Amino acid sequence: MPKLSLAGIFPPIPTPFGADGEVDHDRLQDNFERWNEEQLAGYVVCGSNGEYAYLTPDERVELIRVSRQAIPDGRLLIAGSGMESTQQTIDLTCRMAGAGADAAIVVTPCYYRGGMTAAALVRHYRQVADASPVPVVLYSVPANTGIDLPAQAAITLAKHPNIIGMKDSGGDVAKIGYMAHETRGDDFQILAGSAGFLLGALAVGAVGGVCALANIAASRLIRLWESFMRGKAMEARGQQLPLIEVNTAVTSRFGVPGLKAAMDMLGYYGGPVRPPLMPLPEEDKATLRKILEKAELYHENNSSP
């Protein structure tokens, strides 16, 4: 019995900014109202899709506080508390726990990547987990960090009583399966870090996903997850395949600007990104709209003209 179940679908929510670039808590509230209608397992706040790298520690803590109020009981609030230094990560994790986070998701430090050996990463996560008042989820996202948390490091860390799982955004299902196998005796739950390989990851032992696409297609991903969980692999395949292209559009292809533009198109508040990220160009918006239509997300969600 896991201490805290990570089974299911979690959107890593974008941080809404107003026209002046400030965090807009009202818009966040509005988005949560709509997301709360879906059977989501919880939310990741201040993750990569939340532009955490552009937020001050104070803004991050405040986002947790505000999100906590908007999230109903029974759903997890997982707070992105990673910083480059171990001490700063510990400090922020404690503050976020105090602000209401149920768990902390901690990205691999990456600036001194030559020094981020498996040993260094294991020590980092152990010190954070030792100090954290809430359970810790490892987070590997090589597309942003240039670092793929090694399977052996994760397997070692899975033994730590306060490390309950890992979000892996690398998309290597052989690695995910290997980790699932080697940690089968531990309370260690793996989450697919992107909807593009959600089914592939579930097939080899992941328990759910933290998927940017869940911000705009929650019900579709939840159905996919349920199909697989009920043993309907072929049904799940039919639900997975049409979502890959649109998932790519709101992740690697168009990035957070693409995700926010899609949210704007579908009745959520996306709003501007913080510079140096650039807003999505008009021609890319047109492409994005076509992709949303092809995936049958545009008409389904959108009631605005």
> Which positions are catalytic?
167
Are residues 143 and 105 in contact, defined by beta-carbon separation less than 8 angstroms?
no
For residue 276, cis peptide bond before it (omega within 30 degrees of 0)? yes
Of 130, 161, 241, 300, the one binding its own copies by CB under 8 A:
241
- C-beta closer to its own copies: residue 26 or 84: 84
Q: Which of the 8 DSSP states describes residue 268? A: S
Which of the stretches 35-43, 67-75, 249-257, 296-304 binds its own copies when contact is defined by CB under 8 A?
249-257
Handedness of CA 22, 23, 29, 31 (dihedral sign): positive
- C-beta closer to its own copies: residue 103 or 199: 199
Residues whose CB is less than 8 angstroms from the CB of residue 120 and which lie 6 or more positions away in sequence, other chains included: none
Are residues 228 and 27 in contact, defined by beta-carbon separation less than 8 angstroms?
no
Q: Give the chain's radius of gyration (CA, Å).
A: 18
Of 245, 286, 290, 300, the one binding its own copies by CB under 8 A:
245
Q: Does 119 bind its own copies (CB under 8 A)?
A: yes
Task: Read off the tokens for 85.
Answer: 């230094």
Q: Does 223 bind its own copies (CB under 8 A)?
A: no
Which of the stretches 96-104, 110-118, 215-223, 260-268 binds its own copies when contact is defined by CB under 8 A?
110-118
Closest CA to 167 of 193, 134, 142: 193
Tokens 């609030």 -> residue? 77
Question: Shortest distance, CB of residue 63 to its own copies, whole angstroms?
Answer: 15
Q: Does 75 bind its own copies (CB under 8 A)?
A: no
Q: Which of the 8 DSSP states describes residue 21? A: S
Question: Shortest distance, CB of residue 125 to its own copies, whole angstroms?
Answer: 9
Q: Which of the 8 DSSP states describes residue 12? A: B
Q: Does 143 bind its own copies (CB under 8 A)?
A: yes
Interface positions with its own copies (CB under 8 A): 21, 48, 51, 53-54, 56, 84-88, 109, 111-117, 119-121, 123-124, 127, 143-146, 171-174, 177-178, 180-181, 194, 196-197, 199-205, 228, 231, 233-234, 236-237, 240-242, 244-245, 247-248, 252, 255-257, 274-278
